[in-house]
Amino acid sequence: MKDSNARALRARAERVLPGGVDSPVRAYRAVPGVPPHIVAGEGSHVVDADGNEFIDYVLAYGPHILGHQPPRVVAAIRAQLDRGIAYGHTVELEVDLAERIVDAVESVEMVRFVTSGTEAAMSAMRLARAATRRDRIVKFAGGYHGHADAFLAESGSGIATLGIPGSPGVPAAAVAGTVVLPYNDLEAVVDLFEREGDQIAAVIVEPVAGNMGCVPPEAGFLDGLRDCTSKWGALLVFDEVMTGFRVAYGGAQTLYEVRPDLSLFGKVIGGGLPVGAYGGRRDLMEQIAPSGPVYQAGTLSGSPPAMAAGIAALDVLRENPALYDRLERLGKRLETGFKTVSAEAGTACAVGRVGSMVTPFIGIDEAHSFDEVKLADRERFGRIHAAWLDDGVLWPPSQFETAFLSTTHSDEDVDRTVESFARSLASVSV
Ligand code: KE4
């Protein structure tokens, strides 16, 4: 694969951007190969400066559910830019998008827009602590809620332990109140609540885990979290930054019929422009400044072009519910393809999938928790990833990242991806 321009960009970038990137996963440190120098996208494909074309399963890590350059989204952004970029005053677009989210997600009565999922998560946790007057928060190993200090806790030894800093610069005090439990382990949650439920402000969970690769919730897990938090007066926070408006128009909470107290959104609701949001029960959200004492602010929160993009994206999805059937059909085709060719190759391959979120875990049969997926063969995944690149398939450069399909992906895209996967399995030694 020609990559001289990609190498040249990386060399320049590494001189002025840490690791040559503005977000670590883009550095391709977990896989061989050089990050392509993408220059344009259209539908399910992107092209790079070296003239390579790729079927894109990264899709900017989730926003592009309608593929690259969806006409109504691009037109909405352009129209807003012709009028203005930012005013520091509430514009109707913010209300329009908030009303769409409130209408789509039954548990959400009010919304606050911010500019990233990280901001949404940190704000929602501040609100949960203020509303419950408790400090402890519970997250799950392998769950990612952005890079605010309180969430950069790693599982300590044992099952239910107080968090230990997962990064230099995170003070122990910042994660002392963060308990990290195994995902899909309801027994561990119940046990923790029975021991210290009256100290827990909230449980935050990705209702479909996407940041350890795609790991669906086990039956009863989300319902169990709801029961536990309700019983002990803690809040249930669904991090739907990735799943919101992707796995269903009303998000994973609609799919699994579990009603959280607060929800986070991002990605799809910004149509590819920077946005995050948190929302939920009115009695909670009205505690956010200036209607209440819990402070949170943001210069470009509710950015008009981002609002316009999100409104257009949600309108296309709402007006065409069959798009979700298409995403399910394509996701099933890809999952079936991975399972069929790995079985034929005699290679273990657990496939995690919900709708258009999919991950093949190489070398393992079970993928229900972070401990299990950590057993996947990362080195072999890296070689498969490199072969995909050579075959014109752009897959997220980590075994622990979910891949995404868009409504513009085709059966041919999927079949080419599976055929490349099959060739890799055949050529990659065990
Ligand atoms: P941002 O701060 O990156 O906008 O959102 C953080 C976040 C919160 N919650 C969930 C469920 C998320 O998936 C994310 C961000 N997702 C990653 C993908 N693994 C973004 C990619 C990146 O970090 O570059």
For the stretch 187-202, pLDDT in tens is 999 999 999 999 999 9
Q: How confident is the model at residue 261, as a pLDDT?
A: 98
Q: How confident is the model at residue 190, as a pLDDT?
A: 98
| Pocket of ligand 1 contains residue 402 by CB under 6 Å | no
Annotation marks residue 332 as catalytic: no
Q: Is residue 411 over pLDDT 60? A: yes
Q: Is residue 430 over pLDDT 70? A: no
Q: Which atom of ligand 1 is nearest to the CA of 143?
A: 11
Q: Who wins on pLDDT, 157 or 24? A: 24
Place of tokens 């990609």: 6
Q: Quick check: helix, strand or coil at residue 376?
A: coil
Annotation marks residue 239 as catalytic: yes
Q: Is residue 222 over pLDDT 90? A: yes
pLDDT tens digits along 154-173 = 754 444 445 667 888 999 99
Which residues are 40's β-sheet partners? 47
CB 31 within 8 A of CB 388: no
Segment 96-105 mean pLDDT: 98
Q: How confident is the model at residue 154, as a pLDDT?
A: 76
| Pocket of ligand 1 contains residue 143 by CB under 6 Å | no
pLDDT tens digits along 282-297 = 999 999 999 999 999 9
Q: Is residue 144 over pLDDT 50? A: yes
Look up the CATH superfamily of 4-69+321-427. Answer: Aspartate Aminotransferase, domain 1 (3.90.1150.10)
Minimal-distance CA residue to ligand 1 atom 24: 23
Q: How confident is the model at residue 43, as a pLDDT?
A: 98
Cα of 406 to ligand 1 centre, how many Å?
A: 18
Annotation marks residue 267 as catalytic: yes
| Pocket of ligand 1 contains residue 383 by CB under 6 Å | no
* Segment holding 92, helix H or strand E: helix 92-104
Q: Pick from 207, 271, 255, 262: which is nearest to 62 by CA?
A: 271
Tell me how many degrees the CA angle 236-133-114 measures, rounded to the nearest 5: 60
Tell me how many degrees the CA angle 369-371-373 measures, rounded to the nearest 5: 70
Cα of 429 to ligand 1 centre, how many Å?
A: 33
The type of residue at 357 is M
Q: How confident is the model at residue 159, as a pLDDT?
A: 43
Contacts 24+ apart (CB under 8 A), 272-275: 272/60, 272/63, 272/64, 272/73, 272/309, 273/77, 273/303, 273/305, 273/306, 273/309, 273/310, 274/115, 274/116, 274/300, 274/303, 274/306, 275/113, 275/114, 275/115, 275/116, 275/303, 275/306, 275/307, 275/310
CA–CA dist 100, 7 (Å, integer): 43
Q: Which atom of ligand 1 is nearest to the CA of 25?
A: 24
| Pocket of ligand 1 contains residue 117 by CB under 6 Å | yes
Helix, strand, coil shares of the chain as percentages rounded to 5? 45, 20, 40
- Could you please state the CATH topology (level 3) that the domain comprising 71-319 is classified under: Aspartate Aminotransferase; domain 2 (3.40.640)
The torsion angle over the Cα atoms of residues 329, 392, 209 and 21, rounded to 10 degrees, is -150
> Which pLDDT band, with edges at 50, 70 and 90, does 427 fall under?
confident
| Pocket of ligand 1 contains residue 210 by CB under 6 Å | yes
| Pocket of ligand 1 contains residue 239 by CB under 6 Å | yes
Pocket test of ligand 1: the residue of 17, 139, 144, 167 to mutate, having most ligand atoms within 8 Å of its CB, is 144
Q: Which of 144, 183, 249, 256 is catalytic?
A: 144
Q: How confident is the model at residue 163, as a pLDDT?
A: 63
Q: How confident is the model at residue 158, as a pLDDT?
A: 43
CA–CA dist 397, 394 (Å, integer): 8
Q: Which atom of ligand 1 is nearest to the CA of 116?
A: 4
User: What are the residue ranges spanned by the domains of the chain?
Assistant: 4-69+321-427, 71-319
Segment 128-148 mean pLDDT: 96
Cα of 120 to ligand 1 centre, how many Å?
A: 11
Q: How confident is the model at residue 260, as a pLDDT?
A: 98
